[in-house]
C-alpha cells in the first residue's frame, strides 16, 4: 500500500496559517504536520526527520511547505531546508514556498494577464514592484518575454529589486523606474499595455486619471484587497471587467486562479522528491489549468 502523503508546514508566524492548511487538505494531503514560529536554526532537525524516516523511493510521499506572513523570513527557512537535505543519497523531499501567498498571487496575476495579452515583447509596468509579490510579478513577466518596468517610490530600491530579477532571469528586459507622483507615473506607464499593482494594502497606486491617460493600455490588475484599493475605480471582485475598453481585475477577481495554482502546487509536490517550487515553478503549473 502506498504511504500516506505527509506535508510538513513550516510557518514563521506564532500561529500557522489556517488558509494554507485548508488548501493543503483540499489538495489531497493525507497528513499535515504543522510547525509555527519556526526559526532558521530549527529547520535542519525537522528536515532530517523528514528525510531519514522513509526509503528514498517513498520520499516523494513526504514534502515541505514554507509559509507565514514574512516572505523574507520564509526564504531563509527554505535555504536552511535545502542545506539540510542530502541529495547525493536521494535523501531529499520536495519543497514549496508560498509565504504570504506571494508565489501563487504573482503567478495568478501573470497567468490572468496572459489570457488577454501575449506577453512576449509587451511593455508592462509593475507598481509596488519591490515587495515580495511585486518582484515575483516582475520576474514572471520578464521570463515571458515582456519588457518590464519595475516601479518603486525610490529608484535605488527599484534598482536592487531589478538586479535581483536579472540574477534569476539573465535575459530579462527589465528597467527600474521611480514613481513618486503623477508626472512620474505618466512617464512610467507610457506605452504600457499591462499594469499590475502589487503594492501595500490600502494604498492607491494608480489613480483613475492616470489610468485614463495611459493610451494603449489593455489590461490592469490590482492585487490589493484592502480599501482603498490599488487601482482607483476597479472593484475588488472584478474579473475581466471592462472599464473604458481596459480589461480589469481586482484582488479577489484573481483569487480563483490563485487558489487553483495553490492546490496544484501542493499536489505537484508529491510527484517527485526533488522539486523546489518558487514563483517560476508555480507559474508553470498554470499551463494545465
Would you tell me which residues interact with a copy of itself (CB under 8 A)?
Answer: 3-4, 6, 8, 14-15, 17-23, 25-26, 31-35, 38, 42, 45-50, 52-54, 62, 255, 259
**CB-nearer residue toward a copy of itself: 6 or 205:** 6
Q: How far is the CB of 284 from a copy of itself (least distance, A)?
A: 23
Name the residue among 198, 207, 234, 211 with its Cα closest to residue 101. 198
- What are the angstrom distances between the C-alpha of 118 and each of 121, 141, 165, 192, 206? 8, 11, 21, 13, 23
Helix%, strand%, coil% for the chain, nearest 5: 45, 20, 35
Q: Which residue has the cell 526564504?
A: 75
Which grid coordinates belong to 271?
A: 510527484
Q: How far is the CB of 62 from a copy of itself (least distance, A)?
A: 7
Q: How far is the CB of 280 from a copy of itself (least distance, A)?
A: 24
**CB-nearer residue toward a copy of itself: 35 or 243:** 35
Q: How far is the CB of 47 from a copy of itself (least distance, A)?
A: 8
73-87 burial: b if 16+ Cβ within 10 Å, else e: bbbebbebbeebbee
Q: How far is the CB of 272 from a copy of itself (least distance, A)?
A: 18
**CB-nearer residue toward a copy of itself: 26 or 120:** 26
- DSSP, collapsed to helix, strand or coil, labels residue 209 as helix
- DSSP, collapsed to helix, strand or coil, labels residue 270 as coil
Q: How far is the CB of 10 from a copy of itself (least distance, A)?
A: 9
Helices (runs of H) and strands (runs of E) counted in the chain: 10, 12
Q: How far is the CB of 198 from a copy of itself (least distance, A)?
A: 19
Under DSSP, the state recorded for 246 is: E
**CB-nearer residue toward a copy of itself: 84 or 117:** 84
**CB-nearer residue toward a copy of itself: 20 or 278:** 20
Residue 286 CB partners (closer than 8 Å, separation 6+): 107, 108, 111, 114, 257, 261
**CB-nearer residue toward a copy of itself: 42 or 281:** 42
**CA triple 187-128-146, angle to 5 deg:** 65
**CB-nearer residue toward a copy of itself: 43 or 165:** 43
Amino acid at each position: 500500500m502506498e504511504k500516506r502523503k505527509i506535508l510538513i508546514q513550516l510557518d514563521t508566524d506564532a500561529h500557522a496559517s489556517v488558509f494554507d492548511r485548508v488548501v493543503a487538505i483540499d489538495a489531497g494531503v493525507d497528513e499535515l504536520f504543522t510547525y509555527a514560529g519556526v526559526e532558521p536554526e530549527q529547520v535542519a532537525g525537522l528536515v532530517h526527520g523528514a528525510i531519514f524516516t522513509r526509503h528514498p523511493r517513498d520520499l516523494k510521499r513526504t514534502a515541505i511547505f514554507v509559509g507565514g506572513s514574512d516572505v523574507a523570513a520564509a526564504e531563509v527557512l527554505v535555504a536552511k531546508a535545502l542545506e539540510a537535505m542530502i541529495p547525493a543519497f536521494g535523501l531529499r523531499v520536495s519543497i514549496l514556498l508560498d509565504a504570504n501567498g506571494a508565489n501563487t498571487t504573482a503567478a495568478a496575476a501573470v497567468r490572468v494577464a496572459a489570457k488577454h495579452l501575449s506577453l512576449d515583447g509587451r511593455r508592462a509596468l509593475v507598481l509596488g514592484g519591490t515587495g515580495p509579490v511585486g518582484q515575483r510579478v516582475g520576474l514572471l513577466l520578464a521570463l515571458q518575454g515582456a519588457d518590464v518596468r519595475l516601479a518603486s517610490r525610490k529608484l535605488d530600491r527599484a534598482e536592487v529589486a531589478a538586479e535581483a530579477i536579472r540574477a534569476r532571469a539573465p535575459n530579462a528586459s527589465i528597467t527600474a523606474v521611480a514613481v513618486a507622483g503623477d508626472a512620474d507615473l505618466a512617464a512610467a506607464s507610457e506605452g504600457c499595455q499591462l499594469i499590475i499593482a502589487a503594492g501595500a494594502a490600502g494604498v492607491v497606486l494608480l489613480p483613475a486619471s492616470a489610468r485614463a491617460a495611459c493610451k494603449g493600455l489593455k489590461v490592469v490588475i490590482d492585487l490589493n484587497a484592502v480599501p482603498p484599493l490599488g487601482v482607483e475605480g476597479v472593484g475588488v471582485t472584478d474579473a475581466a471587467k471592462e472599464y473604458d475598453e481596459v480589461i480589469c481585475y481586482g484582488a479577489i477577481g484573481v483569487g480563483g486562479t490563485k487558489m487553483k495554482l495553490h492546490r496544484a502546487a501542493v499536489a505537484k509536490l508529491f510527484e517527485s522528491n526533488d522539486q523546489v517550487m518558487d514563483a517560476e515553478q508555480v507559474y508553470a503549473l498554470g499551463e494545465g489549468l
